[in-house]
Amino acid sequence: MNSSRTFSIPTKWIVPALGALAVLSALLSLCLGAVPLDPGEVLAALLGRGGGPAARIVLYARLPRTCGCLLAGAALAAAGTIIQGVLGNPLAAPNIIGVNAGAGFCTAVCAALWPAWTAAVPFAAFLGALGGVGLVLFIGSRTGASKTTLVLAGVAVSGMFSAGIDAVLTFFPDALNGYTDFRVGGVANLSMSRVTPAFWVILAAFGLALSLAGELDVLLLGEETARSLGLPARRLRLILLALAAALAGAAVSFAGLLGFVGLIAPHIARRLAGEDSSARLLLAAALGGAALLTVCDVLARTLFAPYELPVGVVLSLLGGPFFLWLLLRQRRGRGMGRA
């Protein structure tokens, strides 16, 4: 990985600046929409001092949606940062190597068979995400696959899990409300009751990932170097991938199969924060991912008003060209390693 930084922003200001950007994006999300509200109305509603339609719009429509964007963006970006670091592959991301699709499959199964167990959905999504990344790694280990081939295996695994989702919905068509939004990724019609269980999973997984940031720094030096320093590299790699699966799976459980947040945000964070500290990189990626997804959601519901796009459509329009650029850069040998 290239640890050079492109922008001459003082390192100590990067995380606070991205945090401020995330807060600003959240304020925009609460204020902008079919019914514009001024910041005073939003603040009054949040403090319980407002009433009427404005307060209901803020508390029951925009606040859950904004919280969902911030949470899903942070979780997917952190998951992408971990996956790219552990695999040493700039093309890896939760939606590309089968993590999101595996989580979506188990989410659909859980919603179909146990519709009343809403609190269990994030944990079912975690199992699916872990299964997806485990299957891709198994294929890679059996074939001695290159980095690019590993990504292609992830695409194939994603296709199989997506077919599984379609099969579940053939037999249980009402299992996923708003299936189109789920398939492309969307945060419309969220409620806090759907976001809260995932919040605790993401908080625990992100906290554990931060606690292992020092070990991740050593792991990035190479497996042999890590072993010479007494680090159980193989076990640590599995633990970190499990944490990435928990982060991505929890996000998928309420936001659907969002793509490219886990690809774009880590690269931007790496350019800004460098790779000298995995803890700083994880924080920068999480805050940047939260801001990115929230801004994309604001664009999705305001650019074509009164029509509204699922936020996953906007992300795909941004992420598709970005992925192709990374692929071309990888093939020219200027990425984190040749395919």
Structure confidence by residue, pLDDT tens digits, 249-272: 899 888 888 888 998 999 999 888
CATH superfamily of the 17-331 domain = ABC transporter involved in vitamin B12 uptake, BtuC (1.10.3470.10)
> For residue 274, what are its two tokens?
């460098």
Q: Are 288 and 269 within 8 A, CB to CB? A: yes
209-264, pLDDT tens digit by residue? 999 999 888 888 877 777 787 788 788 888 898 899 889 989 988 888 888 899 89
Burial class (CB in 10 A: 0-12, 13-18, 19+), 211: exposed
pTM of the model: 0.85
What sign does the dihedral 38-43-45-50 (CA atoms) show? negative
The rounded distance, in Å, linking the Cα atoms of 149 and 336 is: 15
pLDDT for res 332: 63
> For residue 149, what are its two tokens?
């081939």
> For residue 3, what are its two tokens?
């640890």
What are the helix (H) ranges across the chain?
11-31, 39-46, 52-57, 63-87, 99-113, 121-143, 147-171, 179-184, 192-211, 213-219, 223-228, 233-255, 261-273, 278-302, 311-331
pLDDT > 70: what percent of the chain?
90
